[in-house]
């Protein structure tokens, strides 16, 4: 018996045969056809092998979105290299942690992050080479990525087939107890995510996706794969810019984009100020407040807003046209089974609350170097999301917050664990006690609030504390608001009573 | 690292949560909702375990289509039993061969095949129990299947998760050199086939599939799975009857069916004679002559005819709306990469002919008990179909016949290898030499022609020889036409020159 495989590179090769001269990737004025895309991946794969990379080796990427990211990901799929996709908004200490955790061999970055990449790599001896996207010529240890796209002979790996169930991409999610967890995803996982999204959003070869989300996140990367499955086009943009999104929608007749707060509101705002024709837009997938979505749909009546729920470990878990069931986060898509479990892993009756659990080929392979956490998350054959929810009789899912031990704040779609922020706040000599919670935020969906008790006699401004935290961890994790209080509510055992803190402070109004 | 699984039973459970009271399976006046379908599968699975079946055990099925077949297949998916799906049109010797090849533990049959099942099992000691669909009460060794649907407690296997990449279904295809080959398919294979068909035929939960094809074939079974993926309904019919197909289309507002010659012509014929409203029909998938398809589309202008190409080993390989590219057999669907290889497994340039090779998660696990054949078919990471074809610049595939060593005749969608028929013909004492070839047939697409040289002085009628062959192998393999000749063309080495035989005799006209 054997198992016939199908990798992301197989999809790229398939598309070259089916869609040939059609644009696969658009970056500024550059258009890469499906045929050219395969050729570039072949070039890059052949060069990487020549430079010493082999199946199973890891490569780190610290970069904004660009077409080179997509080429590198296709080449990695062909030879079975493992991409460590690093969020460029992380602090240096966090990036260093990820590099030590993954031990990459080559480091790829864009020009604006190459110096950070170099600096943090000094403590990671596994890194042998530094490639820089769009660099014109060698600069010290920095090698232009373009040099990997000029191989004479690409035939060498024609018969190389890495396993699609092997590790392909590692994306670190928010730190639990100070340790970011590396989610390991296979090519099969990501192909499944793409298929499920393509089905959920009813994508076809006529779709053109304007890439608003970062490629280092599962959402942005797999959205591009979803569009590719169907032979649609991907417009790649360096970074999110609402006016640029509108201009690309008009120029490329874009039909779809992904969104997390505050992106949709910003686009809506730009639409009010600019006269750009975005009438080709057919759908938007992601999340936002009902108010913003309603305004957006009023302004763009031909578009559908698809609510989407998922996490790096399992994406998408559910989704639907937001109008189908207001308040819900949608239904599980094809090849996705969702159940709600109680603490003993028994399914609860329809309508009751419990932990959202999933079985699907899109569920990740596990946390890197964390066997116990992986075994716990995957116990009894189900992926345990750590989110609480309930199902209705039609299979629609409702989100009911995080499991207490996995409490999470989500400003602008990023994951922030309170424990990590609390640790950084407590590093300040003037702070005696702190409790960090999420509060509603009109712009970002949610914001970080630190409720602090200062040391006797200490004087500290909120802005000082915020900057102090921002110097320690990723800036998006810093508190947006700080409240100084005399005492924090406590439980009988002396622990801070987080639920009580939430009751008292989460309703406060912020300007 | 782990691998989160998703089985056919997971899909059934998912559907119960999403589509609850909607009809999943319709058989005559019986309607089984998605919720009931899961319950029946649970009942059956619990009973099978109680009766001594365990993961990896094989069960044989010899039956026309019925709802019990679907329930049994869901139960088998839940506990990881392996279904041996036997074509009831095979001869007793062929069925016995399949049973010996697979060593099943339980034998399931419909009432009309239970006696054959019992008879051929006498030589297969592995078979312990005989279950009969729709049997009212025990008859000797025959046990009513319904007894498996009355378990008190189904909770026992709640945490049982057989691997979706393990064997799930064994379907024997035509004999090469007298040995039918058992194609082993996993649940993942069949889920992938279903997904690919669902995508190709643009199925949704609004679709209602009228099941014209036998469930013991990959086409019929996976078409039902395709519809289930999307929450559509499956109308199950005992056997193909053109008037019944039309009546079900009208009664159930059917939207889709599968077809192989001569089914479509028969349906068209019935449409001319009956006034049945089939206006709900949206699509038909399969193959037929351009002439019949054109007539059908003229009569049913709202319907699309999807050309479909595949084999038990890999389904679907390609497909498209027949109007897209007349003469082609379509393009590879999602998650399917097709390449044309020369004899050295090198890809040939676009437009040139060679062997059609495939990479896809729908490709089977291999031939049962035939390691060498499996290794040969899957060499270099590609499934080798044995079919010849070419691709055009847009990725459309054109069929160019069988590889000479794998020559195949396809009357009515069944596979007939000339070598097998030749062997049966030569068993007749009066026949000295024979060459069996396929000839075009207006009703069945293709028909079997035997060109024979008789022993000196022998006298034999064509009808006698045809009946003789039919008593040896499946009736659909018997020659439809026989020609007696004095000599057959030979190659230099004395072998019969099949290509020359084809040139001379395949153009003959048959009444």
Burial class (CB in 10 A: 0-12, 13-18, 19+), A499: exposed
Helices and strands in chain A, H and E counts: 14, 23
The answer to whether the CB atoms of B5 and A191 lie below 8 A apart is no
pLDDT-above-70 percentage for chain B? 97
Residue A27 lies in a domain: yes
- pLDDT, position A405: 64
Please give the angle made by the CA atoms of A113, A463 and A266, to the nearest 5 degrees: 60
* Residues B193-203 pLDDT 10s: 999 999 999 99
Say which residues have a Cβ less than 8 Å from residue A323's Cβ, sequence separation at least 6.
A304, A305
Residues A252 and A338 in one domain: no
* Residues B52-90 pLDDT 10s: 999 999 999 999 999 999 999 999 999 999 999 999 999
Residue B218 lies in a domain: yes
- pLDDT, position A344: 85
Sign of dihedral through CA atoms A224, A229, A231, A232? negative
Please give the angle made by the CA atoms of B251, B257 and B261, to the nearest 5 degrees: 125
A-chain CB neighbours of B361 within 8 Å are 4-6
Sign of dihedral through CA atoms A250, A256, A259, A265? positive
- How many inter-chain contacts (A to B, CB under 8 Å) are there? 135
Of A149-153, B283-287, B404-408, the range with the lowest mean pLDDT is B404-408
- pLDDT, position B1: 86
The answer to whether the CB atoms of B361 and A19 lie below 8 A apart is no
Domain containing residue B227: CATH number:
3.40.50.12780
The answer to whether the CB atoms of B10 and A337 lie below 8 A apart is yes
Residue with tokens 């016939």: A4
- d(CA B194, CA B408) in angstroms, rounded, equals 26
* Residue of chain B minimizing CA distance to A16: B395
Residues A294 and A351 in one domain: no
B126-144: average pLDDT:
97
- Residue A53, classed as helix, strand or coil, is coil
Alpha-carbon Rg for chain B in angstroms: 23
- pLDDT, position A495: 84
A-chain CB neighbours of B392 within 8 Å are none
The answer to whether the CB atoms of A195 and B360 lie below 8 A apart is no
- pLDDT, position B161: 77
The pairing of beta strand B481-484 with beta strand B445-454:
parallel
Residues A79 and A220 in one domain: yes
- pLDDT, position A159: 56
Interface test with B, best of A2, A3, A4 (most B CBs within 10 A): A4
A198-223: average pLDDT:
97
Domain that holds residue A397: 311-406
A346-350: average pLDDT:
94
- d(CA A469, CA A462) in angstroms, rounded, equals 11
A466-492: average pLDDT:
91
Would the pLDDT of B264 be above 70? yes
A-chain CB neighbours of B6 within 8 Å are 335-337, 359-361
B15-35: average pLDDT:
97
- CB under 8 A, 24+ apart: contacts of A481-484: A481/A439, A481/A447, A481/A448, A481/A449, A481/A450, A481/A508, A481/A510, A482/A449, A482/A450, A482/A452, A483/A449, A483/A450, A483/A451, A483/A452, A483/A508, A484/A452, A484/A453, A484/A454, A484/A460
A-chain CB neighbours of B11 within 8 Å are 335, 337
B338-361: average pLDDT:
95
Select from B1, B332, B334 the Cβ nearest to the Cβ of A365.
B1
A-chain CB neighbours of B335 within 8 Å are 6, 11, 191, 195, 229
A-chain CB neighbours of B19 within 8 Å are 395
Q: What six digits make up the tokens of B426?
A: 């030569």
Would the pLDDT of A146 be above 70? yes
The answer to whether the CB atoms of A366 and B2 lie below 8 A apart is yes
Would the pLDDT of B293 be above 60? yes
- pLDDT, position B407: 75
- d(CA B424, CA B471) in angstroms, rounded, equals 9
- pLDDT, position A212: 95
User: Confidence class of residue A176 from pLDDT cuts 50, 70 and 90?
Assistant: low
Q: What six digits make up the tokens of A306?
A: 């698809």
- pLDDT, position B511: 58
Helices of type H across A201-341: 218-229, 242-252, 263-273, 290-299
The answer to whether the CB atoms of B338 and A363 lie below 8 A apart is no
- pLDDT, position A451: 94
User: Confidence class of residue A416 from pLDDT cuts 50, 70 and 90?
Assistant: confident
Say which residues have a Cβ less than 8 Å from residue B29's Cβ, sequence separation at least 6.
none
Domain containing residue A459: CATH number:
3.30.300.30
- d(CA A214, CA A90) in angstroms, rounded, equals 13
N residues, chain B: 511
What secondary structure letter does DSSP report for B30?
E
- pLDDT, position A175: 65
Residues A396 and A433 in one domain: no
A471-491: average pLDDT:
91
Residue with tokens 């498996």: B148
Q: C-alpha A133: how far from its chain's center?
A: 21
Say which residues have a Cβ less than 8 Å from residue B335's Cβ, sequence separation at least 6.
A6, A11, A191, A195, A229, B192, B195, B196, B360, B361, B362
- pLDDT, position B85: 97
CA–CA min distance B302, chain A (Å): 22
* Residue of chain B minimizing CA distance to A167: B1
> Of residues B358 and A410, which shows the higher confidence score?
B358
Residues A177 and A287 in one domain: yes
* Residue of chain A minimizing CA distance to B205: A334
Residue B511 lies in a domain: no
Q: Which of A373, A406, A439 is the last residue of a domain?
A: A406
User: What is the full DSSP assignment across B309-346?
Assistant: EEETTEEEEEEEETTTSTT---B--TT-EEEEE-TTSP
Residues A288 and A207 in one domain: yes
A234-246: average pLDDT:
96
Q: C-alpha B411: how far from its chain's center?
A: 13
- CB under 8 A, 24+ apart: contacts of A425-428: A425/A450, A425/A452, A425/A465, A425/A469, A425/A479, A427/A468, A427/A472, A428/A460, A428/A465, A428/A468, A428/A469
Of A256-265, B116-125, B295-304, B492-501, the range with the lowest mean pLDDT is B492-501
Residue B110 lies in a domain: yes
- pLDDT, position A128: 97
User: What is the full DSSP assignment across B378-425?
Assistant: TGGG-EEEEEEEEE-TT--EEEEEE-GGG--B-GGG--B-HHHHHHHH
* Residues A3-39 pLDDT 10s: 899 999 999 999 999 999 999 999 999 999 999 999 9
Residues A286 and A326 in one domain: no
Would the pLDDT of A282 be above 60? yes
Of A193-197, A314-318, B154-158, the range with the lowest mean pLDDT is B154-158
B208-237: average pLDDT:
97
A312-324: average pLDDT:
97
Domain containing residue A381: CATH number:
2.30.38.10
The answer to whether the CB atoms of B365 and A1 lie below 8 A apart is yes
- Residue B145, classed as helix, strand or coil, is helix
The answer to whether the CB atoms of A337 and B11 lie below 8 A apart is yes
CA–CA min distance A67, chain B (Å): 23
* Residue B437, number of CB atoms within 10 A of its CB: 23
Residues A379 and A463 in one domain: no
Residues A67 and A176 in one domain: yes
Interface test with B, best of A7, A12, A14 (most B CBs within 10 A): A14
Residue A12 lies in a domain: no
- d(CA A188, CA A185) in angstroms, rounded, equals 8
Smallest CA-to-CA distance from B193 within B334, B337, B305 is with B334
Q: Which of A265, A299, A333 is the last residue of a domain?
A: A299
B-chain CB neighbours of A11 within 8 Å are 335, 337
User: Confidence class of residue B460 from pLDDT cuts 50, 70 and 90?
Assistant: very high
- pLDDT, position B510: 67
For chain B, report the end-to-end CA distance as a whole number of angstroms.
65
CA–CA min distance B7, chain A (Å): 9
Residues A318 and A225 in one domain: no
Say which residues have a Cβ less than 8 Å from residue A102's Cβ, sequence separation at least 6.
A58, A60, A84, A170, A182, A368
A-chain CB neighbours of B384 within 8 Å are none
User: What is the full DSSP assignment across B187-223?
Assistant: HHHHHHHHHHHHHHTT--TT-EEEE-S-TTSHHHHHH
- Residue A74, classed as helix, strand or coil, is helix
- pLDDT, position A255: 98
- pLDDT, position B159: 56
CA–CA min distance A97, chain B (Å): 21
A412-434: average pLDDT:
89
- pLDDT, position B409: 86
pLDDT-above-90 percentage for chain A? 82
Residue with tokens 């559910």: A318
- d(CA B76, CA B54) in angstroms, rounded, equals 10
* Residues B144-193 pLDDT 10s: 999 999 877 776 545 567 899 999 999 999 766 667 899 999 999 999 99
Residue A9 lies in a domain: no
Residue A344 lies in a domain: yes
- pLDDT, position B444: 85
User: Confidence class of residue B441 from pLDDT cuts 50, 70 and 90?
Assistant: confident
- pLDDT, position A219: 95
Give me the sheet containing B314-321, strands edge to edge.
B30-33, B23-27, B233-236, B208-211, B256-259, B283-286, B304-311, B314-321
- pLDDT, position A184: 98
The answer to whether the CB atoms of B380 and A230 lie below 8 A apart is no
Burial code of B377-388, b = ≥16 C-beta within 10 A, e = fewer? bbeeebbbbbbb
- pLDDT, position A276: 92
Would the pLDDT of A390 be above 70? yes
The answer to whether the CB atoms of B6 and A337 lie below 8 A apart is yes
Residues A255 and A154 in one domain: yes
pLDDT-above-90 percentage for chain B? 82
B-chain CB neighbours of A229 within 8 Å are 334-335
Residues A280 and A320 in one domain: no
pLDDT-above-70 percentage for chain A? 96
Name the average pLDDT for chain A.
93
Answer yes or no: are the C-beta atoms of B345 and B379 closer than 8 Å.
yes
The answer to whether the CB atoms of B17 and A395 lie below 8 A apart is yes
- pLDDT, position A179: 77
Select from B3, B365, B380 the Cβ nearest to the Cβ of A165.
B3
Residue A304 lies in a domain: no
B295-324: average pLDDT:
96
Q: Which of B232, B253, B274 is the last residue of a domain?
A: B253
Count of domains in chain B?
2
- pLDDT, position B495: 84
């Amino acid at each position: 018996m054997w198992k016939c495989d199908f990798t992301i590179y197989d999809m790229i090769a398939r598309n070259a045969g089916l869609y040939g001269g059609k644009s696969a990737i658009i970056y500024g004025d550059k258009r890469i056809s499906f045929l050219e895309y395969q050729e570039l991946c072949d070039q890059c794969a052949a060069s990487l092998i020549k430079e010493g990379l082999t199946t199973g080796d890891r490569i780190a990427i610290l970069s904004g979105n660009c077409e080179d990211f997509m080429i590198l990901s296709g080449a990695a799929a062909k030879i079975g290299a493992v991409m460590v996709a690093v969020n460029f908004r992380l602090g240096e200490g966090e990036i260093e942690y990820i590099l030590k955790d993954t031990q990459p061999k080559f480091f790829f970055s864009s020009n604006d992050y190459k110096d950070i990449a170099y600096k943090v790599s000094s403590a990671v001896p596994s890194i042998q080479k530094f490639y820089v996207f769009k660099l014109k010529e060698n600069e010290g240890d920095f090698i232009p990525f373009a040099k990997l796209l000029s191989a004479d002979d690409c035939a060498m790996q024609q018969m190389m087939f890495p396993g699609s169930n092997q590790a392909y991409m590692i994306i670190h999610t928010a730190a639990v107890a100070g340790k970011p967890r590396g989610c390991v995803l296979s090519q099969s996982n990501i192909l499944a995510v793409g298929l499920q999204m393509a089905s959920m959003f009813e994508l076809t070869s006529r779709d053109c996706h304007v890439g608003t989300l970062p490629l280092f996140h599962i959402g942005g990367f797999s959205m591009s794969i979803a569009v590719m499955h169907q032979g649609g086009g991907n417009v790649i943009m360096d970074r999110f810019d609402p006016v640029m999104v509108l201009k690309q929608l008009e120029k490329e007749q874009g039909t779809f984009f992904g969104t997390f707060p505050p992106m949709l509101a910003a686009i809506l705002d730009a639409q009010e100020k600019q006269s750009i024709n975005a009438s080709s837009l057919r759908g938007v997938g992601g999340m936002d407040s009902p108010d913003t979505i309603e305004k957006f749909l009023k302004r763009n009546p031909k578009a559908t807003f698809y609510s989407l729920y998922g996490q790096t470990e399992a994406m998408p878990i559910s989704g639907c046209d937001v109008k189908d069931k207001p308040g819900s986060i949608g239904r599980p898509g094809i090849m996705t089974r969702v159940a709600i479990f109680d603490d003993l892993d028994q399914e609860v009756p329809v309508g009751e609350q419990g932990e959202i659990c999933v079985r699907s080929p899109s569920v990740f392979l596990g946390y890197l170097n964390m066997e116990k956490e992986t075994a716990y998350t995957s116990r009894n054959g189900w992926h345990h999301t750590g989110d609480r929810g309930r199902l209705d009789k039609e299979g629609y899912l409702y989100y009911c917050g995080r499991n207490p031990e996995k409490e999470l704040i989500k400003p602008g779609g990023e994951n922030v664990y309170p424990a990590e922020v609390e640790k950084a706040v407590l590093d300040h000599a003037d702070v005696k006690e702190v409790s960090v919670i999420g509060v509603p935020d009109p712009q970002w969906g949610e914001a970080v609030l630190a409720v602090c008790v200062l040391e006797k006699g200490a004087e500290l401004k909120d802005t000082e504390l915020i900057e102090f935290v921002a110097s320690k961890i990723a800036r998006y994790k810093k508190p947006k608001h700080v409240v100084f209080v005399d005492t924090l509510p406590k439980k009988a055992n002396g622990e801070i009573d987080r639920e009580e803190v939430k009751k008292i402070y989460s309703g406060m109004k912020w300007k």
